[in-house]
Amino acid sequence: MVTQELLENLKTGKLSCVEHVRTQLALIKKENPRINAFLYVAEKEALVRALELDKGSRKGKLFGLTLGVKANINVQGMPISCASRTLDAYKGTYNADVIERIIAEGGIVLGMTNMDEFACGISGETSAFGPTINPVAPKRVPGGSSSGSAAAVAVGFCDLALGSDTGGSIRNPASHCGIVGMKPSYGRVSRYGLIDLSMSLDQIGPLAPDTFGCALLFDVIAGRSENDPMTLSEPVHVQQLPKTIALSPAFEALCTDKKIYRLIKEKVLAVAKEKHLKLVELDFRYVTLAVQAYYPIVYTEFFSGTRKFDGRRYGRRIEEACNEEVLRRILGGRIISCAEHEGRYYRKALRAARAIRDEFEKAFKIVDLLAMPTTPELPHLLGKLPSPEAAYAYDAFTIPANLAGICAGVVPCGLIDKVPVGLQLYAGRDHTLLGGMGMFGQHLNNTMP
């Protein structure tokens, strides 16, 4: 329990906040030029804050813990670039809701982390500021788009991190870097202050070295906010232990690397036995439509969201500064929006999303958890980004949760060829998901050599 112990040491004063921050800053100075996880390190701000905390009453759920923040979440005074030259000149003018909550609980923002440009990607290679390196499997990509947040947590630059997940961007890098990551249910965490990729699918969520840290950060950032009308007013529950878990042949069929599925299944069987979970099999008809339904929605909403980057307010016009993938989405979104009076793409995609949502709603009346891989393959070698079609298909396991608006989380499950593999859980409710992730986390701690 890395996070729990650390928090205890900070709260009791056994470790001072200043000392803690200094150690991590030194590690960042030494290793970040190689790993490229942080785009901006808030050295002075973090030290001033740590000193302030050391003088105070040592209270707060996150007291003294440090955070990396994905560069698409507003933090006042820091460069919020979305890893794009488009926003070269932009500094956050306010704090996102999640940042306000973190600060109120004694957390320390260490800086802004690298990502795929505008959160479009699967590998962390499309940042305008160079790729992030996977600290655990250095020849391979760390996953994306929240590449810097995952790598920073994995290497210990910071204790916890924030990412955003539209179709898998928290879960995919968590899996590839061997850490824990969670996409909360839609509306659970305020999106106020997030520069959106696709507003009907985006959620901010936690990345952590262990399930304790993940649940802790979720607990801090979740809840109703007046700034985001989509947030739910329902209180955040304490964790609940699941009783049933499902595997599905529909997801098994989507997994191209069979070694990954075998490992996932093995782990599910072991945990089900150890924790007395009833194991069932469920089939899904529409999940195979998820990738095709996702992209028309993302293209359309991204096109609309990027119209503000017209070069007058924030720096450069996006079309003149962005990479190929970002441009593809803008141009595609423009075409879809023009054709939309015939309801050909966007509305049809929304119908498919609804069919997927209905299917999951039914499933979670029968089971508490659904287990599956996070990605169909191991992370590719750095510099070998596949074609757009193949990259899109890579999110087949993560996208359904975003389309259905439900929560999903990833816990480390083991290694294949020395590369980390994350097991993904879906659940109908966040507190059941966290309970389930905790069970898998415990199992892993007990079975690690």
Binding site for ligand GLN (CB under 6 A): 119-122, 145, 164-169, 197, 298, 395
Q: Which of 145, 146, 185, 198 is catalytic?
A: 145
Catalytic residue among 169, 185, 190, 198: 169
In sequence order, the 6+-apart residues with CB closer than 8 A to the CB of 433 are: 182, 369, 407, 408, 409, 425, 426, 427
For residues 115 and 146, the answer to whether their CB atoms sit within 8 Å is: yes
For this structure, is 169 an active site residue?
A: yes
Q: For residue 91, give both structure tokens.
A: 């500094």
Q: Are the C-beta atoms of residues 149 and 120 closer than 8 Å to each other?
A: no
**Element (H or E) spanning 170, and its range?**
none
- Beta carbon nearer to ligand GLN, 70 or 429: 70
Rg (CA), the chain: 20
Nearer to ligand GLN, 238 or 390 (CB): 390
- Residue nearest ligand GLN by beta-carbon distance: 169
Cα-Cα-Cα-Cα dihedral sign, residues 121, 126, 131, 132? negative
* Residue closer to ligand GLN, measured from CB, 157 or 294: 294
What is the DSSP code (8-state) at residue 185?
P
Catalytic residue chosen out of the listed positions 70, 147, 183, 185? 70
Q: Residue 287: which residues within 8 A CB-CB, separation 6 or more? A: 250, 251, 254, 356, 359, 396, 400
Nearer to ligand GLN, 214 or 401 (CB): 401
70 is catalytic: yes
The tally of CA atoms less than 13 A away on the side-chain side of residue 88 is: 13
- Rounded Cα distance, 136 and 138, in Å: 6
C-beta closer to ligand GLN: residue 368 or 395: 395
Active-site positions read 70, 145, 169
